[in-house]
Amino acid sequence: MKEKSFKEKSKNFENGSGINFKSEMKILIATTNENKLDQFREIFKIHGADFELLSLQDVEIFDDVEENAETLMENAKKKAEYFGKKSSLISLSDDTGLFVDALSGAPGLHSKRWHKGSDFDRCLKLQEKLKHIPEKERTCRYIGALAIYNPENDEFFEFENKAEGYITDDFRGEADFGYDKIFHSLHFGKNYAQLSEKEKAQISHRGLGIKKYLDSLKKNE
């Protein structure tokens, strides 16, 4: 028997009652980053979507896809498509960049690679480059692209969102991920690393992207 198509599965969406495809619909979260994986699992949970979310380790895929495209979305699509075809599962991937106005948009597309070392090292380097600029004038934004690929029909769902803020002089918060400890959210008035997962889901490209994705399933019922 032929497996149901992605759109046929989406017809089971019922507004307000959550989504329960755990017995039949699986989504591969195509990342090796445990922090990112945990965030996606929490976001789906917040939105009441009870899909079976799998990691690359769960499906025994240990390949690495080079992020060498010219845009965040192209990187996200490249990874989602590669792992979707390899696993034969609906696959989700994303890419994120921090764009600082005073640095002509740097570190931007290369946020994870623009300076050697750890996330902490990159945060220190960014603060050093901005030290002569008043804190609240260090305007910037997180831009994130999210791609979901269905290998059954070779279709993509694409989402891109941004969150506005500025770079702080000091490190704030406990969560240690990317530039979160020095990125001050204008929406919440505190640094990203100080936000709960529920708060992040309200403004991040991951949270907003998954919400739009679930809304798209509802529209297809």
pLDDT for residue 50: 83
Mean pLDDT along residues 50-54 = 90
Selected catalytic residue, list 95, 119, 170, 176: 95
Average pLDDT in the 142-171 region? 96
65-74, 92-101, 171-180: range with lowest mean pLDDT: 171-180
- Which of 138, 144, 146 is CA-nearest to residue 186? 138
CATH class of 6-219: alpha beta
- Predicted confidence at residue 129, as pLDDT, reads 96
Q: How far apart are the first and last CA of the chain?
A: 22
Confidence at residue 114, expressed as pLDDT on a 0 to 100 scale: 85
Average pLDDT over residues 49-76: 93
Torsion angle, CA of 189/190/196/199, rounded to 10 degrees?
30
Q: In 65-74, which positions are buried (b, 16+ CB within 10 angstroms) versus exposed (e)?
A: eebeeeebbb
pLDDT of residue 19: 40
Residue 95 appears among annotated catalytic residues = yes
Please report, for the chain, the start and end positions of each structural domain, with discontinuous segments joined by +: 6-219
The CA dihedral of 83, 53, 9, 160, to the nearest 10 degrees, is -70
Give the residue with greater pLDDT, 18 vs 45. 45
Please say whether the beta carbons of 89 and 59 come within 8 A: yes
